[in-house]
Copies of this chain bind each other. A is one copy, B any other.
Amino acid sequence: MDARQHFSDFLNGKGIRRSTRRNDVLDVFLTCEYHITANQLVELVHKKNPKIGIATVYRTLKLITEAGIARAIEFGDGSVRYEHDFGHEHHDHIVCVRCGMFREISSDEIESEQDAIARKHGFVLLRHKMVLYGVCPVCRRKQENQVNSP
């Protein structure tokens, strides 16, 4: 099933109306690259329809997230990012603290260990956030060159 249909069903199920603007926001979100901030989405939406207000983008982003089409991620740099989460495998991220470049990562070992920890504390695990911070290969090389040069 496609994400637009899923969103439509989600809205129906909640007794929320569909609207042209909500669909526009969803379309732009689905077309654009992953890991977008609300602000960036607003700008892209405005290219399609400048009449859509910031509030609608934020409100729709919330709905899209509830519908399981977007997932909020935070790298800790002040603004929340949203990535596609419909028909995508779960993953986490590793971020370069120097240049901001990041990669998606995933590990069955970690996931099952997380489950075990939650169980040990009597929790039912629902979800998790994990972000690794380090220095990427490119920045590492730059750093080494600096150290080695006179």
Give chain A's interface residues, CB within 8 Å of chain B. Answer: 74, 76, 94, 96-97, 103, 105, 107, 109-110, 113-114, 117-118, 121-137, 140
Nearest CB in chain B: distance from A101 CB, A? 10
Closest residue on chain B to residue A106 by CB atoms: B117
Q: What are 29 contact pairs spanning A and B, CB under 8 A?
A: A103-B121, A105-B117, A105-B121, A107-B113, A107-B117, A109-B109, A110-B113, A114-B132, A117-B132, A121-B136, A122-B136, A122-B137, A122-B140, A123-B134, A124-B135, A124-B140, A125-B132, A125-B133, A126-B133, A126-B134, A126-B135, A127-B132, A128-B130, A128-B131, A129-B130, A129-B131, A129-B133, A130-B130, A130-B131
Contact B124 A134 (CB under 8 A): yes
Q: When chains A and B are docked, how far (Å) is the Cα of A37 from the Cα of B108?
A: 34
Q: Chain B residue with minimal CB distance to A127?
A: B133
| A76 contact set on B, CB distance < 8 A | 74, 129
B123 near A135: Cβ-Cβ < 8 Å:
yes
Distance (whole angstroms) from the CB of A75 to the closest CB of chain B: 9
Is the Cβ of B110 less than 8 Å from the Cβ of A114? yes
CA of A123 to CA of B113, assembled, Å: 22
* A113 in complex: contacting residue of B103, B113, B133, B134, CB < 8 Å: B113
Check A128–B117 contact: CB distance below 8 A.
Answer: no
Q: Which residues of B contact A128 (CB under 8 A)?
A: 130-133
B131 and A117 contacting across the interface, CB-CB below 8 Å? no
CB neighbours of A103 from chain B (8 A): 121, 123
